[in-house]
Amino acid sequence: MQILAPCAGHVIAMRDVDDPVFSEQIVGPGVGIEPLAGPAQILAPADGRLLKVDPHAFILMVDDSVGILVHIGINTVQLHGDGFEVLASRGDSVSAGTPIVAWNPDDIDQPGVSTTVVVAVMDHAPDSVTGAAVGADVAVGDPLFTV
């Protein structure tokens, strides 16, 4: 199953994400994306159903068996939704490329907060994704990795 980039930016290895929950792949394998500056929408990285939608993160269930977590920034839960606009709802069936959250990474300028967008495959073994675009600059909708 192909997972697409939910935003444009530079792809980094999960081990380089500045949060041990992600870098140690406790949530699951995947990648981080250092987003481009300026207002943007975070899009669904695959077809699926939204299990959870918060301003700073959402979980997409793909093929009724694979949960994809898209976490918008590190420690952004501390912002209590400020700077984010939720565009979709829990339970929505969405197609890859559907806008889920709007934000401006330039507005996330607080100590201890990072703009890195994490895309993780929940409950999968570490390093179990293939073809990760680590080191590449991606556009929205470009292939990110395969589960």
pLDDT in tens, 122-133: 999 999 999 999
Structural domain span for residue 34: 2-146
Instruction: Supply the pLDDT for residue 108.
Output: 85
Catalytic residue selected from 10, 71, 80, 124: 71
Q: From CA 35, how far away is CA 8, in angstroms rounded?
A: 6
pLDDT in tens, 28-78: 999 999 999 999 999 999 999 999 999 999 999 999 889 999 999 999 988
Overall number of domains in the chain: 1
Distance of CA 22 to the CA centre of its chain: 11
Instruction: Supply the CATH number for residue 72's domain.
Output: 2.70.70.10
Instruction: Supply the pLDDT for residue 117.
Output: 98
Instruction: Supply the pLDDT for residue 109.
Output: 74
**Residues 38-77 as b or e (16 or more Cβ within 10 Å = b):** eebbbbbbbebebeebbbbbbbbbbeeebbbbbbbbbebe
pLDDT in tens, 80-115: 889 999 999 999 999 999 999 999 999 887 888 999
Instruction: Supply the pLDDT for residue 111.
Output: 86
Secondary structure percentages of the chain, helix, strand, coil, to 5: 10, 45, 45
Q: Do 138 and 8 touch, CB atoms closer than 8 A? A: yes
What type of residue is 119?
A: V
Q: Do 90 and 51 touch, CB atoms closer than 8 A? A: yes
Q: Do 61 and 48 touch, CB atoms closer than 8 A? A: yes
Instruction: Supply the pLDDT for residue 64.
Output: 85
Angle ∠(80,94,101) on CA atoms, nearest 5: 25
71 labelled catalytic: yes
